[in-house]
């Protein structure tokens, strides 16, 4: 029995009939991995562009609508004993969607209606954006004067930042790689048309 098995094994070892199928199987794995990587790179670029577009749209919205910081929106330099026509001192207010509050000098309220409308515009471009990812900063840098009868005394720079947004790669998920955080993005506009 052993004598018959040896020639059969030798003949099978020399047979090259299935080598093409084995080579195709090895090359196919590499090719499919490359295709998945290219698709994921496209998805990543799409996600980054959508997030950037969302911050630009939110900055435009925040620059022409009522301020989220109610203290800054209602600031009256005359009541602070600053003479009319003078420049308001520099101030910065940071409004966080995660905390639903604004921080800065003075007591700062949070206009949730305006924030939620801005967030809805952002989610129209990137549905995965959550309130916790959004920070709006109003930085007064000297634009505007005390006693302006047509708008707020301050015309701040409005910055909308997006942080903590994650991306899950489909190709890397196969190998157990966890989602990773996209870089922080921000857009800034002058709030000259704030109502």
pLDDT value at 168 more than 70: yes
pLDDT value at 45 more than 60: yes
pTM of the model: 0.77
pLDDT value at 143 more than 80: no
Does residue 135 sit in helix, strand or coil? strand
pLDDT value at 11 more than 90: no
The Cα–Cα gap between 73 and 110 comes to: 10
Residue 68: CB partners within 8 Å, gap ≥ 6? Answer: 62, 95, 102, 110, 111, 114, 115, 118, 136, 138
Residue 69 is predicted with a pLDDT of 83
Whether 194 and 60 have beta carbons less than 8 Å apart is answered as no
pLDDT value at 61 more than 80: yes
pLDDT tens digits for range 67-80: 888 877 777 777 77
The Cα–Cα gap between 76 and 83 comes to: 11
Q: Please state the φ and ψ torsions of residue 46, each to the nearest 5 degrees.
A: -60, -45
Residue 141: CB partners within 8 Å, gap ≥ 6? Answer: 90, 156, 157
Whether 61 and 125 have beta carbons less than 8 Å apart is answered as no
The Cα–Cα gap between 186 and 194 comes to: 19
Going by pLDDT thresholds of 50, 70 and 90, the confidence category of residue 53 is: very high
**What letters, b where the CB count within 10 A reaches 16 and e where it falls short, cover 41-55?**
eeeeeebbebbbbbb
Q: What average pLDDT does this structure show over 167-171? A: 85
pLDDT tens digits for range 116-136: 999 999 999 999 999 999 999
CB atoms within 10 A of CB 12: 10
The Cα–Cα gap between 183 and 123 comes to: 18
Residue 135: CB partners within 8 Å, gap ≥ 6? Answer: 94, 95, 96, 97, 160, 161, 163
- Distance from the first to the final alpha carbon of the chain: 97
Residue 132 is predicted with a pLDDT of 95
Residue 4: CB partners within 8 Å, gap ≥ 6? Answer: none
Residue 7 is predicted with a pLDDT of 74
pLDDT value at 64 more than 80: yes
Compute the mean pLDDT over every residue in the chain, rounded to the nearest whole number: 84
pLDDT value at 106 more than 80: no
Residue 89 is predicted with a pLDDT of 75
The Cα–Cα gap between 34 and 24 comes to: 15
Going by pLDDT thresholds of 50, 70 and 90, the confidence category of residue 156 is: confident
Q: What average pLDDT does this structure show over 83-93? A: 76
């Amino acid at each position: 029995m052993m004598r018959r098995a040896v020639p059969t094994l030798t003949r099978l070892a020399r047979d090259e009939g299935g080598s093409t199928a084995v080579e195709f199987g090895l090359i196919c794995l590499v090719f499919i991995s490359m295709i998945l990587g290219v698709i994921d790179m496209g998805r990543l670029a799409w996600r980054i562009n959508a997030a950037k577009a969302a911050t630009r749209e939110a900055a435009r919205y925040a620059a022409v609508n009522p301020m989220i910081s109610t203290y800054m929106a209602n600031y009256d330099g005359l009541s602070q004993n600053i003479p009319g026509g003078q420049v308001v001192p520099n101030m910065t207010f940071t409004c966080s969607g995660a905390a639903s509050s604004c921080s800065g000098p003075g007591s700062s309220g949070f206009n949730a209606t305006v924030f939620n409308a801005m967030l809805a515009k952002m989610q129209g471009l990137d549905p995965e954006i959550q309130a916790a990812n959004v920070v709006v900063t109003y930085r007064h840098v000297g634009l505007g004067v005390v006693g302006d009868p047509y708008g707020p005394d301050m015309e701040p720079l409005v910055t909308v930042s997006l942080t903590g947004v994650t991306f899950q790669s489909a190709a890397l998920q196969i190998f157990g790689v966890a989602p990773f955080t996209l870089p922080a993005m921000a857009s800034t506009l002058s709030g000259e048309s704030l109502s």
